[in-house]
Amino acid sequence: MPQYHIWTIGCQMNKAESERLGSYLEQLGYQATATAEEADLIVVNSCVVRQSAENRVVNKLNALSPLKKLRPNLTLAVTGCLVNSEVAQLKGRFPHVDYFFKPGDCPPWLEKAQWGQVLPRRPAPSTYVSIIQGCDNFCSYCIVPYRRGRNRSRRVKEIICEVKELVNRGTREVALLGQNVDSYGHDLPDQPDLADLLGELNGIDGLLRIRFLTNHPKDMSPKLIEAVACLDKVCEQLSLPVQSGSNEILEAMRRGYTVEQYRQLITEIRSKIPEVALSTDVIVGFPSETEQHFQQTIDLLSGLRFDTIHVAAYSPRPGTIAARKFDDNISPAEKMRRLDQIERLQEGIAAEINAQLQDKVVEVLAEGKKKGKWQGRTRSGKLVFFSNSNNCLGKLMNIRIEKTSPWSLQGRVES
Ligand code: SF4
């Protein structure tokens, strides 16, 4: 039986696409292997959103070169955001790679007709479903629109069919994915929006929960907030990347909103969905970010108190507007200092927010086992560990929280 190995780095979109490719390969008779050395087919699913990710991809591809020399029959393919329109250039740089194909595309050696219908045979209780590819926003620092292209939404009918089939096969929760899910449907003939899609999915029997990410603050509509507030299966969890607490920096980033508009949006969300858990993304060390700009970000984060923050140090991506227009003039050490400061701030905030769940009973979807304990998430997306000798996989469990930390919760099954 031929063996395949997929190496994945980057966002949930990449993870979802790798899962899909793995399922398809298994339907064709391949078997997964954890070691590249044993594989007949290796796929590298790449990310170049940050320089550190791109470096890891390049190192991985270079490390695979001797293996390809040793076993010329090995097939080596690359997908993900490294693959741009300059495939000839990539071939010159990595001559040992057999195929390059764009993220989300059917691999060139597989049957295109079947690709659209590929689903995992035994999907996880919580499964990613991609609903829109690409992005039309062109934030000045971001490479995504250049690599993944413009918005391309999948049709509502197609997504409903896919989710129904996933539920038949064992999925209980879906996380709808897109670089900007708030743009969903604008490019389709009858222009449904994300709220319409959520309404349709909410009616699927056997589906227990729906999440979606990532949102864009300038595109999040009152209708969508209303849908989250009203639809019983849509979880009270929203990701809303702010990126900076300074209007000057937001403008240079071309984010399309001000700090005041962002604060107003959060106020509106919290008033309509009181239980909501909010996460955000922040970039530190954007060109010309002064200490004062950075302090504005700290003030915003301290005031809004998010459940989770993903913080990254700016790194210029060749081809983006920011890389062309601005000097990367904040030193790496200063970027790290700012990043650490936000992480320490957030650790304290998350500890306090999670401590409020001490002794409370929360509903957890059991997603799997780790080190002998069941793990799963609350509706608000908090990671919970608990012990139980029964098979809890895919079940909703009532868990009384006994211990909390900034990152996860521990509890016992409430009888
Ligand atoms: S919204 Fe901005 S940051 Fe997000 S993918 Fe689109 S261009 Fe990139």
pLDDT per residue as tens digits for the range 392-403: 999 999 999 999
Across the chain, mean pLDDT equals 94
If one compares 322 and 87, the residue with the highest pLDDT of the two is: 322
Residue 116 banded pLDDT, cuts 50, 70, 90:
low
Cβ–ligand 1 distance for 99 under 6 Å, the answer: no
Give 12's contacts (C-beta < 8 A, 6+ positions apart).
128, 175, 177, 213
Please report the pLDDT score of residue 27 as a whole number. Answer: 84
Residue 243 CA, closest ligand 1 atom number: 3
Cβ–ligand 1 distance for 315 under 6 Å, the answer: no
Distance in Å, CA 134 to ligand 1 centroid: 9
| Strand-pair category, 383-387 with 373-377 | antiparallel
Q: Among the residues of 71-155, which ranges form H helices? A: 87-93, 112-115, 144-148
Mutate to test the pocket of ligand 1, among 13, 49, 152, 216 (most ligand atoms within 8 A of CB): 216
Residue 179 CA, closest ligand 1 atom number: 5
Distance in Å, CA 137 to ligand 1 centroid: 6
The identity of residue 251, as a single letter, is E
Weakest mean pLDDT among 55-69, 92-106, 319-333: 92-106
Distance in Å, CA 346 to ligand 1 centroid: 23
Q: Is the pLDDT of residue 231 over 90?
A: yes
Residue 115 banded pLDDT, cuts 50, 70, 90:
confident
Report the nearest-CA residue for atom 8 of ligand 1: 142
Distance in Å, CA 260 to ligand 1 centroid: 20
Cβ–ligand 1 distance for 137 under 6 Å, the answer: yes
Share of the chain above pLDDT 90, in %: 84
Distance in Å, CA 192 to ligand 1 centroid: 21
Distance in Å, CA 179 to ligand 1 centroid: 6
- In angstroms, how far is the first alpha carbon of the chain from the final one? 46
Radius of gyration (Cα) for the chain, nearest Å? Answer: 22
d(CA 89, CA 249): 34
d(CA 75, CA 52): 26
Residue 216 CA, closest ligand 1 atom number: 1
Cβ–ligand 1 distance for 140 under 6 Å, the answer: no
CB under 8 Å, gap of 24 or more: what pairs does 53-61 form? 53/9, 53/10, 54/82, 56/9, 57/9, 57/82, 60/7, 61/94, 61/96, 61/97
Please report the pLDDT score of residue 113 as a whole number. Answer: 66
Residue 171 banded pLDDT, cuts 50, 70, 90:
very high
Distance in Å, CA 214 to ligand 1 centroid: 9
Residue 353 banded pLDDT, cuts 50, 70, 90:
very high
Q: Is the pLDDT of residue 106 over 90?
A: no
Backbone angles phi, psi at 18, to 5 degrees: -65, -40
d(CA 177, CA 214): 7
Cβ–ligand 1 distance for 179 under 6 Å, the answer: yes
Share of the chain above pLDDT 70, in %: 99
Across 96-112, average pLDDT:
86
Mutate to test the pocket of ligand 1, among 140, 180, 181, 243 (most ligand atoms within 8 A of CB): 180
Across 10-35, average pLDDT:
89
Report the nearest-CA residue for atom 4 of ligand 1: 179
Give 200's contacts (C-beta < 8 A, 6+ positions apart).
156, 160
Report the nearest-CA residue for atom 2 of ligand 1: 139
Residue 24 banded pLDDT, cuts 50, 70, 90:
confident
Owner of token pair 């200092």: 337
If one compares 405 and 29, the residue with the highest pLDDT of the two is: 405
Cβ–ligand 1 distance for 180 under 6 Å, the answer: yes
Sheet holding 126-130, edge to edge: 126-130, 173-177, 209-213
Angle made by CA atoms 348, 271, 351, in degrees to the nearest 5:
10
Please report the pLDDT score of residue 311 as a whole number. Answer: 97
d(CA 320, CA 108): 28
Across 381-386, average pLDDT:
98
Distance in Å, CA 293 to ligand 1 centroid: 21
Q: Is the pLDDT of residue 215 over 90?
A: yes
Cβ–ligand 1 distance for 11 under 6 Å, the answer: no
Cβ–ligand 1 distance for 16 under 6 Å, the answer: no
Distance in Å, CA 170 to ligand 1 centroid: 32
Residue 310 banded pLDDT, cuts 50, 70, 90:
very high
Across 345-369, average pLDDT:
97
Distance in Å, CA 322 to ligand 1 centroid: 13
Cα-to-chain-centroid distance, residue 131: 13
Q: Among the residues of 283-388, which ranges form H helices? A: 291-304, 321-325, 332-355
Distance in Å, CA 239 to ligand 1 centroid: 13
Q: In 3D, which of 288, 309, 312, 287 has the Cα closest to residue 300?
A: 309
Cβ–ligand 1 distance for 135 under 6 Å, the answer: yes
Please report the pLDDT score of residue 28 as a whole number. Answer: 85
Query: Within a 10 A sphere around the Cβ of 199, how many other Cβ atoms?
Result: 16
Cβ–ligand 1 distance for 145 under 6 Å, the answer: yes
Across 144-148, average pLDDT:
87
Q: Is the pLDDT of residue 185 over 80?
A: yes
Across 294-301, average pLDDT:
98
Weakest mean pLDDT among 21-30, 228-237, 257-266, 286-295: 21-30
